[in-house]
Structures are given as structure tokens and as C-alpha cells.
Amino acid sequence: MAIDGPLLTAIIARMADAELNLAAYGVAFSFALVAEAPIIMLMSASTALASNPLAYRRLRQFTHFLNFMITLGLVLLLLPWPYRVLMETVIGLTPDIASRTHLALLALLPWPAAIGLRRFYQGVLIRNNQTRKVALATVFRLLGMAGCAFLLFTRSDLQGALLGGISLSCGVLAELLASFLLSRPTVRRLLASPQQGEVLSFSQLWRYYLPLALTPFITLGVHPLVIFFLGKGRFPLESLAVMPVLGSLTFIFRAIGLSFQEVAIALLGPDLRGYQPIRNFAYGLALFASGVLLLIALTPLSTLWLQQVAGLNAELTRFSRLPLVLMALLPAGSVLSSFQRGVLMGGRLTRPVSTATMVEAAVIFGLLTLLLLYSTFSGALCAALAYVAGRLMAILWMVYPCRRVLGRQSGAAPDHPSDSGA
């Protein structure tokens, strides 16, 4: 899935008005991620909760409701007056970038609902040890996205940002269809199974899921606000142009950690007996993910990727190097935070997941503000420093709640009901 970003930015960088379209695509993609945020944790919720027929049906209804509300909100945002106020007055985009971003976001309207529904089905597959089908569905996503992008690149004269939006939507729709078809046998077996085990009411579902929904919403909501800061910092156009490229490369390695959350939930077990081997694996995975990206950032491989693959010119390549070195630490942070979240969700203590994300966002904005006001760093370098510091503080914040969950599972005194996080 992480190949989407580098492939699309490489194509857009080779089209007309590359800097403008890269900047517009980066803004549109950031807002699409914000729209997607409330449904990202549906995969984790489905992995943890879809244990019997009634629980499956209730969670599916919950998914449809969330998808409808999110799509409606995105439609309202794209109406001319609120869109112009947000993008041009609040964020400060130029009219040229704002108009290109608007077209890309219109093309991305199917994005959040398609992702929400496919993550629901993929959670069912993960819970039933059908992880290869999840990977196969992602292959269909890549094929759909890449095929659409190359077709439009060679056969049309669309703006680069609009090409990116259409291609992303085609990819996620292909993945949704594949996930639906591949999950049919598993869903049939689930619906035919005896009705036993826990079933949360809709109110209990809301209490369980709300802290989880807030987590990616805050995390992904950080990106448009960082764009706002980049537009006010030093070298704004260069920073806006390179951040989608750096974010796409970093996400290839961060995705390893993001997928680890559902693995931890499934393999830790209801009593967390699998904690020690999963923890040791997480440490090794964190070192591997950041180590490989750091190797790229500190060697001529960075020039090969940024200039030859991503299509940046020599000046933007030099501009990108130091931010990339700092952002190479983010994949390790993704692995460790995903492991911590898996422990907390397995222990039904979801509130610290969202509070840790609030701490991360506060550190990012606070440090970014200080750096832009009092340092001479470029906007991209300030953003990289803030991202790394924010993730470190979030990991430290979750250490104590994880210890509480582990202590409770090993026979320690139970926590007070008001601290259950549900």
C-alpha cells in the first residue's frame, strides 16, 4: 500500500507545473487522510470484536453509519464558500494551488468510505488468520492505482494533482471489491457459527471506539496544520513540494509498523500471554525499519531515490536530505507505538491511546511554532524535527498504561472501573 505515494509523486514530478501540482497533491492527500481518520481503527476493532454473528452485523452497521457521516462532511467542505475560506483565507494557499487541490479532493470523494468498508472486512480476515488475503487485496489496490495513473499520464493532459486523486480512488475501490470477495467464505462461516461470546451494544461500541477514532483523527489532522505552518515558514514552496515525497518514502517503512497493530491484537491473546515474544519481535522490527531507511538517507541511495525515482531536481534533492535523515526515525516509532496500542486494546484500555496522540500533536505544534519563530531552519526541517519529538513523547506517555494492563493480566489488583478507557 505504501508504494502508492512514491509512484504517484514520481509521475506528478514528471508532468507540467510539477512544483504546483506536487504541492496541491500533498494538500489534497493530507485532507483525504483527515477524512479517512475516523475509520482507520475499524480494522483493529473488527479484529478485536467480530467474534460471532451478532457482533459482526452490529459492527458492520456501525461501519456504514461512520462512512456516511464522513462522506457527507467531505462534501460540505468542498462547497465553494467553505472551501475558499479554509484553503485561501485560513491556510493561505495561492488560488492556483487551491483550485488544483479542489479538483483532486473531488476525485477523492469515494476514498474514505471505500477504505472504511475494506478495513472492516480485512479485520475479519485477520481475526480468522487469513492475512494472505489482506495482502492479495492490496495487490489489487496497487494494480488499480498504477494502471489508472499510467493510463492518464500517457493518454490525457490532466493536471498532475487531479491525476493523483483519480488514481488513488481507483486503487481503493479495487481493493474494496477484492476484500469483499475474498472475505465471503470467512464471513459465511462466521455467520453460520453459534451465537456465543461477547456482543457490545451500540452505546458500548461508541465508548470503545471513540478514543480509537480520535487517535488517527488527531494524528492525520496534524498534517494539514503542518502544511499551514510550512506555508508560513522559510522556503514555503520548496517545503510544500518535498514533504509529499519524503512522506511517501517514509511511509513505505512506517507501514511495516502500522500493520503490526492488528498483528499484536491477534497474537497477544485475550490474556496477553504472547507478550514477551511479540515485544521482542517489535524491537527487532523497529531496528530493521528505521535502519534500512537511515541507510538510504545517509548514502548515495538518497540521491538515487529522490532524483531518479521521485523526479526531484538537484536543488530540491539537496533541500530534502537532512529532513529525510531525521524522518528515518519515524518507522521505529510506528512499530513501538503500534505494539503499545495492541497491548492497550487487548486489555480494553483505549483511552490512553487517544491521550498519547493528543500529547504527540501538542508537542508537534508547540515545537514547530518555536522553531519557525526563533530558528533559521527551513519549514521542511522544522516539520521533521517536530514529527520525531512528538512521536517520542507519545511512546513515553503509553509506557505506564501498558504496565497497568500487564500487571492486571498477571494477577495484580484490577484498575478502578472509571479508568477502563471504555
For residue 329, give the nearest of 262, 239, 401, 390 by alpha carbon: 390
The H-or-E segment that residue 63 falls in is helix 53-77
For residue 172, give the nearest of 271, 347, 57, 36 by alpha carbon: 36
Same domain, 396 and 303: yes
For residue 398, give the nearest of 319, 282, 318, 295 by alpha carbon: 282
308: exposed, middle or buried (C-beta count within 10 Å: 0-12, 13-18, 19+)?
exposed
Same domain, 52 and 119: yes
Quote the pLDDT of residue 422. Answer: 34
d(CA 10, CA 252): 14
Of the three residues 176, 197, 218, the one that is the final residue of a domain is 197
Quote the pLDDT of residue 17. Answer: 84
Same domain, 82 and 96: yes
Same domain, 41 and 145: yes
Same domain, 127 and 221: no
Number of domain units in the chain:
2
Same domain, 37 and 99: yes
Of the three residues 146, 176, 197, the one that is the final residue of a domain is 197
For residue 33, give the nearest of 258, 267, 242 by alpha carbon: 258
Per-residue pLDDT of the chain (422 residues), as tens digits, is 667 777 888 888 888 888 888 888 888 888 888 888 888 888 888 887 888 889 899 999 999 999 999 999 999 999 988 888 888 787 778 888 889 999 999 999 999 999 999 999 998 998 888 889 998 999 999 999 999 999 999 888 888 899 999 999 999 999 999 999 999 999 999 999 888 767 777 888 888 788 777 777 777 667 767 877 777 778 777 787 788 788 878 888 888 887 788 888 878 866 777 888 999 999 999 999 999 999 999 998 988 888 887 777 888 888 888 999 999 999 999 999 999 988 888 777 778 888 998 899 899 989 988 988 888 888 888 889 999 999 999 999 999 998 888 887 665 444 433 333 33
Q: Is 383 within 8 Å of 239 (Cβ atoms)?
A: yes
Cell 511517501 maps to which residue?
248
d(CA 282, CA 256): 10
List CB contacts of 72: < 8 A, sequence separation 6 or more: none
Same domain, 206 and 184: no
Same domain, 120 and 221: no
Same domain, 225 and 348: yes
Of the three residues 174, 197, 220, the one that is the final residue of a domain is 197
pTM (predicted TM-score): 0.71
Domain containing residue 75: 1-197
For residue 168, give the nearest of 331, 12, 328 by alpha carbon: 12
Same domain, 223 and 363: yes
Same domain, 243 and 357: yes
Same domain, 301 and 379: yes
d(CA 67, CA 336): 29
Quote the pLDDT of residue 2. Answer: 66
Helix ranges (DSSP H) in 193-313: 202-232, 236-258, 260-268, 275-297, 301-303
d(CA 129, CA 262): 11
Write out the three cell numbers for 316. Answer: 530540491
